[in-house]
Structure 1
Amino acid sequence: MFFGEPSPTVVRACVRDGRGGSPTLVLDDGPFGEAERRRLPGEAGASHAVFVSPGPEQDGLPLFSLRFFTSAGELPSCGHGTIAALGHLAARADTDSTRVSLRVAGRTFPAWAVRRESHVEAGFAYGSVELREPAPGESELVLPALGIRPDALGPGVRVASVGRPRLLVPVTSRSELAALAPDMERLREACDRLGLLGCYVHSAPSPSGRAAARMFAPSIGVPEDIANANSTACLAAHLAGHGFPRIAVDMGDSLGSPATIRAGVSDSGVLQLGGDVVVTRPFP
């Protein structure tokens, strides 16, 4: 099903109309030390690196295990990194349609990718999302660091977790979202104190489920993420109970790299996450 010797590749995950996306390094796993795993993303001009290990077949499908690193260390999971890895695998498959099993942090799940003329459409079945109301003091510690005015804050602040908790923060409009200029040091201290991965600030969805978001995560070495798919899955899980079975979230515009992530609940009730991938260049 797969051909050729894989090589380290930088791909753009979750591109929008073929543009932008989050540069992500994808490479075969090997005897890398911790320091090297943390150094490689920056050397490749990426915020994240995905290390891929092939394994025995799972349910008749090729199995690949994934590990994710930023300059700050290993992440238990990474949604856009998973999408990037799928684009990389699809680019060297011998068919236009690819189905695999992926293993991340002890969980195995189905994933798929389809090669198009200019990009790869990738998606996978997501796991469970834990949602809760913020505990007393959590929002009060974080929101001032984000710089959100009280009248710009929307209803429904939530703490969401897919291994590590993050704060979902609604604002009233895309313009309010674009104007945010968080105090990163203050935000990092607040997130560290509360054990939060970061803050995913999002606009209210349109009737069709289109929204915009910005993810601030200085605690993991990413002041602002171009595309944060895990948090988009968290938002999809939250909005599924409010009449939005599927959403498309625009990110990256404030960083000059437009990205879009798709998420939603399938007809069978499975939360799915996906995006488009462009394989750009080998590394180094």
Structure 2
Amino acid sequence: MTVVQACVRGGPEGRGGSPTAVLDDGPFGEGERRRVPGAAGASHAVFVTREGERDGHPAFSLRFFTSEGELPSCGHGTIAALGLLAARAGTDTYEVSLRVGGRTFAGRAVRKGPYAEVGFVHGPVELREPAGTESALVLPALGLAPDALGPGLRVASVGRPRLLVPVASRSALAALAPDMERLRAACDRLGLLGCYVHSAPTPSGRLAARMFAPSIGVPEDIANANGTACLAAHLAGRGVDRVSVDMGDSLGSPATIGATVEAGPSGPVVRLGGGVLVRRPGHRP
């Protein structure tokens, strides 16, 4: 098992990032898989299976677990797995075919020693207006009044729905202190994965976010790439085609996730990316 720092901030000399356990899959039971994140000091674990070759590239499938169970996808877990696979290959540029659930997609990594810049095309994002019940239950659990919100409250899904919650500023974001028991009860009742709360983007697309997901055993995520993909798809409808999202500062582990959006034949195409530190395969810090 390797604990990878996913979505580090600051390039090759960066710091922080989300510790993510990455390991080769095997005959593990459900309980064993759920225990791995805690044993590794991580919020998530990624289980990797080699599938030969696909489209002329090495092919792998990925599964993701938290202490509460399996997730249909995990963006920062995919970034972590890409970084480790590139480190194992030992090449400066690494391209791979990945399968998550029923979707296959290409991943790419460019290495500089233990650091790699990785990226992949995210799956489709579904967006809708929140129901009144969703706002009424979730916002008080976050400690937010409706008049404290910025424009653009949305429910977004990339397999499981989450609430995108805009606040006015980074300082308002930093001041949040959700009632986690109340938030978990609300999300469980509504079938939400959690809440991705974000500041307004600057003209260059820079912003900050915090992801609260107690329903999956992660009160606050250091880096949440799936939520960033959801936000990027939403902001594309407002003319913002590139974002750089700072996360993890409230947890003392700064992380940054990038996303760009391009027009595709069946809707917006989101490309996610981030920096990964793999000090050595098999390493547990």
SS in 2 for 1:137: helix
SS in 2 for 1:262: strand
Deviation at 1:151, TM superposition (A): 3.4
Partner of residue 15, structure 1: 8
Deviation at 1:29, TM superposition (A): 0.3
Deviation at 1:280, TM superposition (A): 3.6
- Return the letter of the residue paired with 1:273: L
Distance 1:270 1:165 in 2: 18
Distance 2:31 2:113 in 1: 38
Partner of residue 38, structure 2: 42
Partner of residue 233, structure 1: 229
SS in 2 for 1:247: strand
SS in 2 for 1:180: coil
Deviation at 1:142, TM superposition (A): 0.3
In structure 2, runs of 5+ residues without a counterpart are: none
Distance 2:28 2:239 in 1: 46
Query: Any residues of structure 2 matched to 1:48-197 within 5 Å, and which?
Result: 48-197=44-193
- Return the letter of the residue paired with 2:48: V
Deviation at 1:60, TM superposition (A): 1.1
Equivalent pair of 2:139/2:146 in contact (CA under 8 Å):
no
Equivalent pair of 2:124/2:269 in contact (CA under 8 Å):
no
Distance 2:36 2:134 in 1: 34
| Deviations 1:101-131 (CA, angstroms, capped at 9, x unpaired) | 1000110001100102451001001110000
SS in 2 for 1:232: helix
SS in 2 for 1:264: strand
Partner of residue 278, structure 2: 279
Deviation at 1:56, TM superposition (A): 2.5
Deviation at 1:136, TM superposition (A): 2.4
- Return the letter of the residue paired with 2:50: P
Distance 2:139 2:155 in 1: 13
Please tell me the root mean square deviation across aligned C-alpha atoms, in Å: 1.3
Deviation at 1:94, TM superposition (A): 3.4
- Return the letter of the residue paired with 2:269: V
Equivalent pair of 1:41/1:71 in contact (CA under 8 Å):
yes
Judging changes above 3 Å, is the alpha-carbon distance between structure 1 residues 148 and 33 closer, same or farther for their aligned structure 2 residues? Answer: same
Partner of residue 270, structure 1: 269
- Return the letter of the residue paired with 2:59: L
- Return the letter of the residue paired with 1:143: L
Higher mean C-alpha deviation, range 49-58 or range 267-276: 267-276
Equivalent pair of 1:9/1:280 in contact (CA under 8 Å):
no
- Return the letter of the residue paired with 1:13: A
Partner of residue 211, structure 1: 207
- Return the letter of the residue paired with 1:10: V
Distance 1:273 1:266 in 2: 12
Partner of residue 32, structure 1: 28
SS in 2 for 1:68: strand
Distance 2:114 2:28 in 1: 33
- Return the letter of the residue paired with 1:15: V
| Deviations 1:194-220 (CA, angstroms, capped at 9, x unpaired) | 000000000000000001000000000
Distance 1:136 1:148 in 2: 15
Partner of residue 253, structure 1: 249
Total equivalences in the alignment: 277
Equivalent pair of 1:83/1:275 in contact (CA under 8 Å):
yes
Distance 1:127 1:37 in 2: 25
Distance 2:160 2:279 in 1: 30
Equivalent pair of 1:10/1:280 in contact (CA under 8 Å):
no
- Return the letter of the residue paired with 2:275: D
State the TM-score, normalizing by the size of structure 1: 0.95
